[in-house]
Structure 1
């Protein structure tokens, strides 16, 4: 199981490489700014990164009437291609859910990246307990109660 921890300054180069290799970064110097960022570490190497916001309102102003109000929102998640299917993505998402629960939030949401691999990403998030809410269109939001993410990832379901 990977070690999940807050990002350190020394991790920023690897975080950008992970994001860039997953078509989520621009290849420039990475600086998390005011985002919450965690990394997954295996055998001393960072192999995953997730950017998120706690207490984020991602809904009505974006036309998402089904939106439940303040929530945890995952902006980006990336796992090294060589380390996929090792429960790293699940561990990152589960840590975000734990932090959301500790902050008193009850819902976790995200918008899966469109394009190549979209079906695989959606299958992964569905296996982690999330479902699409609102209109079925590009950029559709996915989410579920934090408790469902924690339950779905407590069982031994193999990561997609």
Structure 2
């Protein structure tokens, strides 16, 4: 299982490369200012990253369908291609869900990124319990109750920080 921890400045270049290799970054210097960011570490190397906002009112201004409770919005998740299907993505989601729960939030929301492997990203989020809410189409919102993410037994991962 990966170690999930807060990002530190020494991780920035690795995270930028990870995002870029997943078609989610532009290859420029990574700056997570204003975001909550956790990384997944296996055998001393960063193999996954998740950017999120614990306090976000996503959807209300855009007229998206209402959902129960306060929400945490997941902006970006990426896992190294060589470390996929090993529980890294689920461990990152579980850590976000734990932090959301501690903040009193009951719902996780996201908009799966377009581009290369968009179908794979959507399939991953569906497998984790996320469903479409609101109108379908580009930029469609997906969500999942925090309790559903935390109910999955194999999402428990060692944590540092948080």
Match of 1:154 in 2: 153
Match of 1:83 in 2: 83
RMSD: 1.4
TM-score normalised over the length of structure 1: 0.92
How much does 1:127 deviate? 1.2
Alpha-carbon distance in 1 for matches of 2:87, 2:154: 11
Alpha-carbon distance in 1 for matches of 2:114, 2:32: 22
CA contact (8 A) 2:69 2:105 kept: no
User: Greater relative contact order: 1 or 2 (C-alpha under 8 angstroms, separation 6 or more)?
Assistant: 2
How much does 1:66 deviate? 2.7
- CA deviations 1:43-88 (Å, max 9, x no partner) are 0000000000002100121220334463100000000011111110
Secondary structure (helix, strand or coil) at the match of 2:97 reads helix
Match of 2:15 in 1: 15
Alpha-carbon distance in 2 for matches of 1:92, 1:71: 17
- CA deviations 1:74-131 (Å, max 9, x no partner) are 0000000111111100000110000000111001000001233222211111111111
Alpha-carbon distance in 2 for matches of 1:68, 1:17: 36
Alpha-carbon distance in 2 for matches of 1:65, 1:93: 23
In structure 2, list runs of 5 or more residues that go unmatched.
156-162
TM-score normalised over the length of structure 2: 0.91
Secondary structure (helix, strand or coil) at the match of 2:112 reads coil
